[in-house]
Chain A
Amino acid sequence: MATDRFPVEQGHIMLFARSVGDENPIYHDPEAAADTEPGHVIPPPTFVQASAQFTDGYSLRPVTGQPWFGSGKEPTGVKRESSGGGGGTGFHAEQHYEYHAPIQPGDVLKAVDKPGKSWTREGRRGGSLSFNESITEYYNQDGVLVVTARSVGVQTSRVVE
């Protein structure tokens, strides 16, 4: 997901670490973090996924004034054909990270998308499975590559089960 500006904020790191149940002080306490090997607050290893918060037009974030496929008055706010990630046909299959350089609060990252591979195979429960790889490189404000992320999504040709 291309993101021009992903500001890395200490409070955001704390909330993200809490959400994965990790109370390690290096994720929320600058004084404790100063005594660690990195010497500063760092994010947990999967934190760059939260760049989605800063991605324009990210399809899994409601937009004020636009229909949303989750429930409100009705079980869904849109017709099923256009329900984005809903309907049970799209899944996150794999996620891989390579860590090249440290990240700390105050950094401003830029996420750049690179083309990935696509392949198809037959599923065990019928229908074909289409795999799509996407590669995202995260650079800091100095142009240093800090993380490479490789994500594999799978689409089923029909609803599973």
Chain B
Amino acid sequence: MALSKSNISVGDQHSEQVVDNLTRTQIIQYAGASGDYNPLHTDEIFTTQIAGYPTVFAHGMLSMGLTGKMLTNYVGDGRLTKYGVRFVAQVWPGDSLTATATVEDIREEDGVSLVDLAVSTVNQDGAEVVKGSATARIDG
């Protein structure tokens, strides 16, 4: 399943819808699993009346985790060597996200074959919410 130098080219893309109609319950699942219980993500009363937002919103790290699912499906289990993102915009309940990896470079480092990927996740309006990069080991 892993990528190899012979089956990828610069410019190749892999896209997946990583969440369809994000629920408040999934945000609560992420809070419980990750340990980040900031009420901005789960507590509608605090978030609207105290913090002044229209509703709760997803942890940035949930967007990164959802995007990571697309990456590991593409590069294979245990193949990532680097993964980093900037959180560009908030993700709200009801959003649907599509994550895309684009092959930027295929190279060798210390005898190991690597692929460098640009990573971008957009919402249902096409607005980017996560932008980043990743590197993974590939077969030579």
Contacts and interface: CB of A to CB of B under 8 A. Distances in A.
Contact of A44 (B32, B45, B65, B85): B65
B3 interface: no
B43 A49 contact: no
Given A19-B33, A69-B46, A87-B51, 10 more contacts: A15-B32, A21-B26, A49-B36, A50-B34, A50-B35, A53-B34, A87-B50, A92-B60, A97-B82, A159-B52
Interface residues of B, number: 48
Interface of B: 2, 18-19, 26, 29-30, 32-40, 42-43, 45-46, 49-53, 59-62, 64-66, 68-69, 71-73, 76-87
Residues of A contacting B: mostly: loop
Interface in A37-61: 37-38, 42, 44-46, 49-55, 58, 60-61
B66 A16 contact: no
Q: Which 5 A-B pairs have the closest CB atoms?
A: A96-B84, A70-B39, A20-B65, A53-B35, A52-B35
A52 B78 CA distance: 23
Nearest to B81: A99
Contacts of A18: 29, 33
Contacts of B50: 69, 71, 75-76, 80, 83, 86-87
6 contacts: A21-B18, A24-B72, A44-B65, A70-B39, A88-B51, A97-B84
A20 B33 CA distance: 10
B77 A26 contact: yes
Contact of B46 (A22, A71, A150): A71
Contacts, number: 157
A142 interface: no
Contacts of B85: 94-96
Contacts of A91: 60, 87
B30 A19 contact: yes
A61 B35 contact: yes
Contact of B37 (A54, A61, A95): A61
Interface string A68-106: 111100011000100111111001111111110010000
A62 interface: yes
Given A20-B66, A37-B77, A96-B83, A52 B46 contact: no
